[in-house]
Structure 1
């Protein structure tokens, strides 16, 4: 049943997202707290060569997105890579990719909600962090339960603020480097080589930097999930993916280059935002509070996007019989997820039960994070630590299998093609395997790989067991057609 997939698939969901929503989701989705704060840890281990670390990690993410874009533009679906994996490799692959990604999103959602609550608590100490978490979850649940355009509008303005912050940062950094700012001397390029050279910790530092920063690129996949709810999914996802190269180079590599040029890399430390240090150095007043606001918005943006992505993923799993069918209820009359009647209404086409299911587990994750952050929740977090790499691997394997089928059955659907197929696809798979092996050799990252491997193995066992039972059931029906 998976040998001849149709190039497109009808969805009962609304088409309420506009191209501007998807474009800004693509622009802002790549900019998160991992960049604004987490990049400090990468600079601390790699020095100025963190630029190379981001180039390597960014190249991996870019290649995966290109593969995903090829499949999603040819076969748009709300389940994105989970649907592609099922078509390419079988039910077990679609089941595994979908549930692993859903689990990843709802666990990480707790980290984002808790971190945003800590920032808000700093501004308003009278309100406890748990109360802030409740406010955030209620607001974004309400937004996701109504028309999908509300999610799009939230993400549009969140992304606009993040993009503006990065652009202003880059401009100020360049002005500081060339000495254009008042009361400043030109910084020049001395900091790139002045403290132990460009590679102060050698290539080992670059590799450690890759392990630190590669997961900051997670979240780009949501663009291909959201594309299914636009008027022209194939065109929308194609445009979003094509601009990935520019986004990665401009926002990540560009800002890292500015940071290690304006200040000595030894001035950075893990846990502190390098952006704050640079803004302080160039004389921007209240730099810390400004960046706190930007990080706060980035966290809320990620929370909103993860809630959206998780609800659409579990809805897609339910469509394919891999999750309870009760989750197929959509607002506006699409009762069983198959008709889509009324899904074009103002609040129609929203999988509300899927949203509530994702929120419910998100609340559980938040409670575990607040109650047992160093035990139960830490194990959950470790169990999804390397899941993104497993999902990316399934995307690459799916593209290897599907490319030939699409060329044979619907070549006109290949409006976006993977570069140098199949060589770059194989190279990407080798790169992902290399990152996993390197994580196993790293004392800090090893628990994430082992726990994630355990979680993945458990899901695979369930998936294979379901497929085996399904095949036995089909065989029994053929042998005994009379009920």
Structure 2
């Protein structure tokens, strides 16, 4: 059994097109296709401004991540940089939190999968579909890295085609001044019923779901260890994030609110399905439901990939989980992560109405803190000899001021999660996790190298 050097031998089987689609897949998921229904319901068209603001800071975070990744392309995961510049204890805490965060995201995607399948099979329990999809994606992840990359490529392609089709449909309907039971399709639908809901508390709360929609965008950093040409592929993928935000988030949400007035969307269902069902095109609603199903499966696929790599990286060198199979895949780590994701079935059973919101708020709080420490790692990197003596291949514009602004923005969202009644308890639970893992770190992490 090969153990000694396995952590440096992950398979580099992802091509440029795989990495590009993985980056896109990381920015288009359940947060957009399902969670945006609640955001539209809470904020109205003002949600476009919220997504634009949140997306701008996410892009700055990604540029900071890109600079770190290209400063040392041998690092397996971006948490390695947190460990390097903020200390081993901090790296331990953030590493295990990142692993837990992706487990929670996987749970939210499983809930979404079951919800979407009930569109066609309302009488079949959600948990059956959760087990089926989880099993299929687990098998894909343990066969070969290229199998994962190819699956994610096609999942992402379906999402892209669907969103572009929705935007084109809106443009055509506006040009033809199409009339529906909801009225004439026109750009003025964005403001003629009010540009916002007028409910200030709900508008502020919408920042949480907007932030959740972008979770996973840093996934390109996890895949950096397994790309063939990181010096070329990583900058290209990160720089294209801003384009994806404008097209896939702002463009898609604007399109569905132009076709159908924003007040007609309910919080518990995908607005992308509702928009076609609302104007009487049932067949199109079924097609879009298939698309949002693949979006959830895509994010679940990415979650299994990430949690497996994280557990493999975090495990001690000669432990059971620090082992690669014959395909250079951390199969044992992926298996444990998959087993833990199954617990979402219990959460869904105990809290059938609020399971999705509970899980997304926990994930948002965890990732907010992770991203804050990522920005802190970038600040300390800029002060280190690695930066002063390095090639400085992909610098963050405006650093360190953009670092500080991004940290402040994320702290504000964390404060929103703490003060909003619907997310206070779950946020406190997340903070409790940090206290527990911090105390554990004193027994696990050596004080000296």
State the TM-score, normalizing by the size of structure 1: 0.84
Instruction: Pick which of 74-83 and 217-226 moved more.
Output: 74-83
Instruction: Provide Cα deviations, 1:7-36, integer angstroms capped at 9, x if missing partner.
Output: xx9831011111111111112221112211
Query: What does 1:418-437 correspond to in 2, within 5 Å?
Result: 418-437=396-415
**Counterpart of 2:383 in 1: which secondary structure?**
helix
- Root-mean-square deviation (CA), in Å? 2.8
Equivalent-residue separation in structure 2 for 1:121 and 1:203 (angstroms):
34
Q: CA deviation at 1:202?
A: 6.9
Query: What does 1:19-418 correspond to in 2, within 5 Å?
Result: 19-76=16-73, 79-120=76-117, 122-124=119-121, 128-179=125-176, 187-196=185-194, 198-201=195-198, 206-280=203-277, 284-318=281-315, 321=316, 325-332=319-326, 348-363=327-342, 365-373=343-351, 383-405=362-384, 406-410=386-390, 412=391, 414-418=392-396
Q: Does 1:448 align with 2:446?
A: no
Q: CA deviation at 1:457?
A: 1.6
Name the CA shift for 1:456/1:122 in 2 (closer, same or farther; >3 Å): same
Equivalent-residue separation in structure 1 for 2:103 and 2:54 (angstroms):
24
State the TM-score, normalizing by the size of structure 2: 0.90
**Counterpart of 2:212 in 1: which secondary structure?**
helix
Equivalent-residue separation in structure 2 for 1:188 and 1:118 (angstroms):
31
Name the CA shift for 1:417/1:81 in 2 (closer, same or farther; >3 Å): same
Q: CA deviation at 1:189?
A: 3.3
Q: Would you say the 8 A contact 2:11–2:328 is kept in 1?
A: yes
Q: CA deviation at 1:266?
A: 1.7
**Counterpart of 1:286 in 2: which secondary structure?**
helix
Q: Would you say the 8 A contact 1:86–1:92 is kept in 2?
A: yes
Name the CA shift for 1:44/1:132 in 2 (closer, same or farther; >3 Å): closer
Aligned length: 441
Instruction: Provide Cα deviations, 1:178-215, integer angstroms capped at 9, x if missing partner.
Output: 2266999963333232223x244176554232123211
Tell which structure's C-alpha radius of gyration is larger.
1
Equivalent-residue separation in structure 1 for 2:201 and 2:115 (angstroms):
34
Which of the pair has the greater relative contact order for Cα pairs under 8 Å at 6+ separation? 2
Name the CA shift for 1:172/1:73 in 2 (closer, same or farther; >3 Å): same
Instruction: Provide Cα deviations, 1:81-117, integer angstroms capped at 9, x if missing partner.
Output: 2111001100111111111111121233233224313
Equivalent-residue separation in structure 2 for 1:392 and 1:182 (angstroms):
45
Equivalent-residue separation in structure 1 for 2:123 and 2:186 (angstroms):
46
Instruction: Provide Cα deviations, 1:427-450, integer angstroms capped at 9, x if missing partner.
Output: 000101111112222111212221
Instruction: Pick which of 450-459 and 381-390 moved more.
Output: 381-390
Equivalent-residue separation in structure 2 for 1:409 and 1:130 (angstroms):
54
